[in-house]
């Protein structure tokens, strides 16, 4: 074995998604079965690292979890160890750098490297540890599919399936009642989920964060459909969509979170405008966290297994501070520091946008 690694830690950070357990299983089983390493599971993402909550993982601990959604380790999307939020007795908050304390917790357990499974926020968090000398290998997860450097993240395929299935169900009721029906999907500032679910379900209108919409253009399209054959319209709206010259629709601000903006509600805004401008009855369904829950589809189980295995291989090959990525059909790795604080949006020349326009889909802009 070319590396001197004996014990590794694994953690899941940020919002959960289907496939996390597949990665934990692949990392742990590969470490134990192929390389005789010890694996320590950190509980609840970076929060467990700050609070020194971790435990040894055995092969039994990770058996029977491949098909389960969520994460057996727990997760947290509010903790950034370099700006850890401390709440005082008077209710006020201050931020403290707890990275050194975390490194001490890792050193106390003789941990040689950390597998960090998470999205862009977690990769940004990992960069503080890289700078403090901890070898981190990242595994990119998120239903948003918005991590730079990888063509796909695990979790995306399951969310895409859930959103498509919801749109299919909305389709039949929309047709019965001759309504415009909106399904708002997640994705933050990237439209991958809306674009893919919208195309897969044959949505008539798809609104993306990358293309600001003109509400009058959307209304004209819906009216045109109702007057020429189809008396209903299906709209797939990304939570990050915004009108030309307008703002994002923010559901609330979570001040304790490193990324405080929680999007949500643009679907209802669009529904109200369509109804008032056209007189066509319009309804909105906000899918929310149902897109992140439940059983992972086979694609995410497979990708999670590939990524988890590749993370372990990278570590035992002596690689330092990499993130596992999918590049075309190749599983490879890039510098983890390349990823922090960036987001991968849908390019306007994405072939799926062109194909959707080709079959008559309206993007509002």
Q: Cite the active site residues.
A: 144
The sign of the dihedral angle between the CA atoms of 211, 212, 217, 222 is positive
Q: Distance between CA 277 and CA 200 in Å, rounded?
A: 28
Q: Which residues bind ligand F6P (CB under 6 A)?
A: 15, 77, 119, 142-144, 186-188, 239, 262-263, 292
Please provide residue 323's backbone torsions phi and psi, each rounded to the nearest 5 degrees.
-120, 135
Length of the chain: 365
**What separation, in Å, do the N-terminal and C-terminal C-alpha atoms of the chain show?**
56
Q: Across-strand partners of 137?
A: 115, 322
Judge contact between 191 and 349, C-beta under 8 A. no
- Helix-strand-coil split of the chain, %, nearest 5: 40, 20, 40
Which residue number places its CB atom closest to ligand F6P? 186
Cα 279-280-281 angle, rounded to 5 deg? 110
Residue 145 Cβ vs ligand F6P, minimum distance, rounded to whole Å: 10
User: Kind of pairing, strands 205-207 and 180-185?
Assistant: unpaired
Judge contact between 321 and 217, C-beta under 8 A. no
Q: Distance between CA 319 and CA 322 in Å, rounded?
A: 7
Residue the block writes with tokens 């009642």: 177
Please provide residue 88's backbone torsions phi and psi, each rounded to the nearest 5 degrees.
-95, 170
Please tell me whether residue 7 adopts helix, strand or coil conformation: strand
Residue 74 Cβ vs ligand F6P, minimum distance, rounded to whole Å: 14
CB of 7 or CB of 262, closer to ligand F6P: 262
Which residues, 6+ apart, have CB-to-CB distance to 77 below 8 Å? 13, 14, 15, 45, 121, 257, 259
CB of 33 or CB of 253, closer to ligand F6P: 253
Residue 187 Cβ vs ligand F6P, minimum distance, rounded to whole Å: 5
CB of 105 or CB of 196, closer to ligand F6P: 196
CB of 263 or CB of 316, closer to ligand F6P: 263
Question: Among candidates 10, 346, 304, which has minimal Cα distance to 153?
Answer: 304
Judge contact between 114 and 9, C-beta under 8 A. yes
Query: Kind and range of the H or E element at 168?
Result: helix 156-177
């Amino acid at each position: 074995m070319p590396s001197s690694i004996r014990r590794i830690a694994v953690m899941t950070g940020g919002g959960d998604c289907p496939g996390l357990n597949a990665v934990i299983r692949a990392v742990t089983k590969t470490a134990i079965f192929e390389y005789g390493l010890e694996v320590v599971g950190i509980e609840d993402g970076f929060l467990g690292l700050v609070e020194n909550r971790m435990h040894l993982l055995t092969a039994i601990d990770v058996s029977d979890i491949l098909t389960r959604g969520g994460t057996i380790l727990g997760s947290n999307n509010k903790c950034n160890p370099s700006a850890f939020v401390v709440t005082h007795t008077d209710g006020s908050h201050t931020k403290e750098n707890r990275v050194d304390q975390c490194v001490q917790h890792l050193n106390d357990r003789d941990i040689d490297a950390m597998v960090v499974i998470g999205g862009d926020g977690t990769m940004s968090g990992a960069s503080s540890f890289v700078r403090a000398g901890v070898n981190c290998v990242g595994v990119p997860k998120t239903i948003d599919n918005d991590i730079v450097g990888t063509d796909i993240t695990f979790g995306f395929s399951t969310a895409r399936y859930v959103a498509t299935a919801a749109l299919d169900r909305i389709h039949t009721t929309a047709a019965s009642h001759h309504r415009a029906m909106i399904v708002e999907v997640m994705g933050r500032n990237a439209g991958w989920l809306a674009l893919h679910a919208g195309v897969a379900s044959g949505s008539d209108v798809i609104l993306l964060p990358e293309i600001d919409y003109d509400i009058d253009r959307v209304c004209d399209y819906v009216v045109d459909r109702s007057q020429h054959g189809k008396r209903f319209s299906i709209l797939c709206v990304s939570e990050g969509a915004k009108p030309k010259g307008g703002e994002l629709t923010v559901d609330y601000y979570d001040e304790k979170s490193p990324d405080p903006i929680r999007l949500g509600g643009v679907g209802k805004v669009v529904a109200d405008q369509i109804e008032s401008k056209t007189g066509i009855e319009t309804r909105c369904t906000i899918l929310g966290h149902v897109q992140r829950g439940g059983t992972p589809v086979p694609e995410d189980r497979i990708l999670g297994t590939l990524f988890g295995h590749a993370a372990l291989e990278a570590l035992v090959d002596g690689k330092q501070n990499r993130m596992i990525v999918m590049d075309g059909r190749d599983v490879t790795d890039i510098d983890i520091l390349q990823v922090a604080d960036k987001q991968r949006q849908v390019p306007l020349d994405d072939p799926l946008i062109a194909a959707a326009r080709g079959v008559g889909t309206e993007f509002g802009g």
